[in-house]
Structure 1
Amino acid sequence: MIWATWRQHRAVLLTAAFLLAAVTVPTLVSGLAMHEEYRADGIAACVADPGARAGCAQRVEQFAAQYSEWGNRMVWVAFLPALVGAFVGAPLLAREFENGTWRFAFTQGVSRTRWLVTQVALVGTAAAVLALACSLLFTWWRHPLDAMGSRMRTAAFTVSPGLVALTLFALALGVFAGVLLRRTVLAMGLTLVTYLTVRITVEETVRPFYLSPQVRTDAPSTGKAADALPPTDWIVDEGLVDRAGRRLSDADKRDILQQVYDGDTVREGGAALERHLTEHGLQHYTAYHPADRYATMLGIEIALHLGLAVVLLAAAAHLVRRRTS
């Protein structure tokens, strides 16, 4: 059974290995150059010492500007699980049902559960190894950038070890869609749409609230709390709060700006706004996650995706066992 499964999917697995090798070479070359510049130019020492950071801020900014754009482009790695789910997971069983070859498998003394487990285990292991290799490679490449900013932001979180769990979730989603619809193209489409929906929802809506954000408030005269936070913290929200602790809406902020910047007060710039805020008892607030929460939040996201994968595979197994025609 294992040999038959390997023969079915070896072309896809070998292609994935070839693409990984093709990506690894330029990533290693550019990464070694970036890491050497990070060390040789003293940026690593500057970042490691917050007290000295102000004196070399310009060098840090130039380094970040040079490499951040390339680092942010690594968000495309988030599409790797989508490709695995759509082009590997969805056809894995859908093609068997669509072509009727599943009947032959069951006449060879192979139980339905063993058939499903063998197929998913072999392909899932290969997909997990591929995702882990990509994660280790790109996490290493991003290390200097992550030392200067929050690892909980999109690009860094995307290439974290959580990529393995996300890939297994996408694969399980594709398997379930294939068993449910029994049509390869339809299953691929459903997998892509569902994966992107879940991915965007988790990233934009759920992840910031895995843990309750810490909140800091500062009087207007001292500036925003965000100015005092380390760059490795993740700011998820900021704005104004009144004496009762109510956060002002965007409409409230627009009303304040209209009240302040009329007539000659516009000449005073920010001073007029800060004075208005002080007179009305308003303060700046910043909701953020400290850098030391990274491991906990990563663990929560990994557990979330693995849990969804288990549920989807259990549902697929239930449908396979009930399949009669």
Structure 2
Amino acid sequence: MIRLTWRQFRTPAAVACGALLVVVLLAALTGPGLAHAYSTTTTACRQAGDCTSAMADFSHTDGVLRTALGTLVTIVPALLGMFWGAPLIAREIEGGTIPLVWTQSVTRTRWLAVKLAVVGLAGILVAGLLSLVVTWWAHPLDQAAAAAYDTFGERDLAPMGYAALAFVIGVTAGMLIRRTVPAMALTLFTFVVVRVGIAYGIRPRLISPAHRTLALDPASTGFGSSISPDGMFNALFNGGPSSALEPATPNLPNAWIYSTRVVDDAGHDLTDKVLDADCPGMASGGGGPAVPGHVPVSQSAQQQMQACISKVGATYHELVTYQPGNRYWALQWQELALCGTAALLLAAFCVWWVRRRRIA
């Protein structure tokens, strides 16, 4: 059965190995130069005594290639689910080969278990090797950017979990629909929904975030729109109103900052109503236009705004909700375990369905 599975699978495996070899060669040709440039930039900026701007500039080096490789790591699990998972059973049903296999002293359970093991483990291996190569290549850029969570799903262990889950989603879709092309479409749609749900719904809640309290700084706190993306994120994940007062995001290297809120000692959010009471006209735009980005204002407006922030700061402070950088690997392992467990449960369902139901 293993030999039969390999004979059916050897062409897709050869294509995957060829594509992976191309990525390895590309990384091998460009990676050492990128690492050398990072080392040179680091040495020079340390001698100059200022690495902040230098690292920010270097993090955009080879932006096109970095984006391409990151995108490749992102879509490979979906491709594995579509082209390896969905046809695994659906193709056998469409070709009418299942009854023939089952009459050759091969049980349904063994037939499916071998296919899942051989093809599924191969998919996980491909995704893992691709992630390893891209993680190694992008390491200098990731070090310079100091934003580990921005590429969380494109690095290290997470792509392996996504590959396992996407593959079994594809197998399940093919088993239930019994047609390869519709199963491929359903696999892509389902995986995208699951991936987005994990990134924005589950991952932020795997580990309780840390909190940091900071005093409001009149020099870095400004006014923005209450319907800005930050405001909507605050309302969504923190359940409280968001005022037009927007403190600057603190510099926490490699941290994942969920939100920055302005709260009092009891944890109550600063609302526009309270802000208007303390600083009449400021929340509604009296201190300048409430638009994203930096806009020039008069000296008197700046003084008025800073006086307002100082007054509010006597009662309110900035509350930062975030995941520290040292929790990165814990989240990687937890997300891998989550995807792996879901994949195993789906695989068990497939085995049960094949054993109990008439699928031919």
Question: Is the partner of 2:217 in helix, strand or coil?
Answer: helix
Which moves more between the two structures, 105-114 or 142-151? 142-151
Aligned partners of 1:299 and 1:251: how far apart in 2?
Answer: 44
Aligned partners of 2:83 and 2:148: how far apart in 1?
Answer: 30
Aligned counterpart in structure 2 of residue 271 of structure 1, from 306, 319, 336: 306
Higher helix proportion, which one? 1
Q: CA deviation at 1:110?
A: 0.1
Aligned to 2:14: 14
Question: Is the partner of 1:109 in helix, strand or coil?
Answer: coil
Aligned partners of 1:217 and 1:37: how far apart in 2?
Answer: 37
Aligned partners of 2:45 and 2:249: how far apart in 1?
Answer: 24
Q: Is the counterpart of residue 283 in structure 1 residue 317 in structure 2?
A: yes
Aligned to 2:353: 319
Instruction: Output the amino acid matched with 1:288.
Output: Y
Q: Is the counterpart of residue 63 in structure 1 residue 97 in structure 2?
A: no
Q: Is the counterpart of residue 232 in structure 1 residue 254 in structure 2?
A: yes
Q: CA deviation at 1:57?
A: 2.4
Q: Unmatched 5+ residue regions in structure 2?
A: 221-246, 289-296
Aligned partners of 1:256 and 1:171: how far apart in 2?
Answer: 54
Aligned to 2:115: 119
Which moves more between the two structures, 62-71 or 120-129? 62-71
Judging changes above 3 Å, is the alpha-carbon distance between structure 1 residues 7 and 298 closer, same or farther for their aligned structure 2 residues?
A: same
Instruction: Output the amino acid matched with 2:166.
Output: A
Q: CA deviation at 1:45?
A: 8.6
Q: CA deviation at 1:276?
A: 4.4
Instruction: Output the amino acid matched with 2:8.
Output: Q
Q: CA deviation at 1:85?
A: 0.3
Deviations 1:5-59 (A, max 9, x none): 112121111111111111221222221111011113335995xxxxx89623232
TM-score between the two structures when normalised by the length of structure 1:
0.88
Equivalent residues in 2 for 1:108-147, closer than 5 Å: 108-147=104-143
Instruction: Output the amino acid matched with 1:316.
Output: C
Aligned partners of 2:323 and 2:21: how far apart in 1?
Answer: 36
Aligned counterpart in structure 1 of residue 149 of structure 2, from 145, 152, 155: 152
Aligned partners of 1:176 and 1:251: how far apart in 2?
Answer: 53
Which moves more between the two structures, 109-118 or 55-64? 55-64
Q: Is the counterpart of residue 107 in structure 1 residue 86 in structure 2?
A: no
Aligned to 1:4: 4
Judging changes above 3 Å, is the alpha-carbon distance between structure 1 residues 106 and 67 closer, same or farther for their aligned structure 2 residues?
A: same
Q: Is the counterpart of residue 301 in structure 1 residue 341 in structure 2?
A: no
User: Could you tell me whether the CA contact under 8 Å between 1:238 and 1:286 is conserved in 2?
Assistant: yes
Aligned counterpart in structure 1 of residue 82 of structure 2, from 82, 86, 92: 86
Judging changes above 3 Å, is the alpha-carbon distance between structure 1 residues 247 and 86 closer, same or farther for their aligned structure 2 residues?
A: farther
Judging changes above 3 Å, is the alpha-carbon distance between structure 1 residues 28 and 323 closer, same or farther for their aligned structure 2 residues?
A: same
User: Could you tell me whether the CA contact under 8 Å between 1:134 and 1:159 is conserved in 2?
Assistant: no
Judging changes above 3 Å, is the alpha-carbon distance between structure 1 residues 299 and 53 closer, same or farther for their aligned structure 2 residues?
A: farther
Question: Is the partner of 2:61 in helix, strand or coil?
Answer: helix
Q: Is the counterpart of residue 182 in structure 1 residue 182 in structure 2?
A: no
User: Could you tell me whether the CA contact under 8 Å between 2:74 and 2:153 is conserved in 1?
Assistant: no
Instruction: Output the amino acid matched with 2:116.
Output: V
Which moves more between the two structures, 143-152 or 204-213? 143-152
Question: Is the partner of 2:59 in helix, strand or coil?
Answer: helix
TM-score between the two structures when normalised by the length of structure 2:
0.80
Aligned partners of 1:250 and 1:74: how far apart in 2?
Answer: 44
Identity of aligned pairs, percent?
Answer: 32
User: Could you tell me whether the CA contact under 8 Å between 2:45 and 2:51 is conserved in 1?
Assistant: no
Deviations 1:244-273 (A, max 9, x none): 202357998898631652798534375245
Aligned partners of 1:247 and 1:37: how far apart in 2?
Answer: 45
Aligned to 1:26: 26
Aligned to 1:49: none
Aligned partners of 1:242 and 1:78: how far apart in 2?
Answer: 41
Aligned partners of 1:114 and 1:12: how far apart in 2?
Answer: 22
Q: Unmatched 5+ residue regions in structure 1?
A: 47-51
Q: CA deviation at 1:323?
A: 2.7
Aligned to 2:70: 75
CA root-mean-square deviation = 2.7
Instruction: Output the amino acid matched with 2:322.
Output: Y
Aligned partners of 1:188 and 1:204: how far apart in 2?
Answer: 24
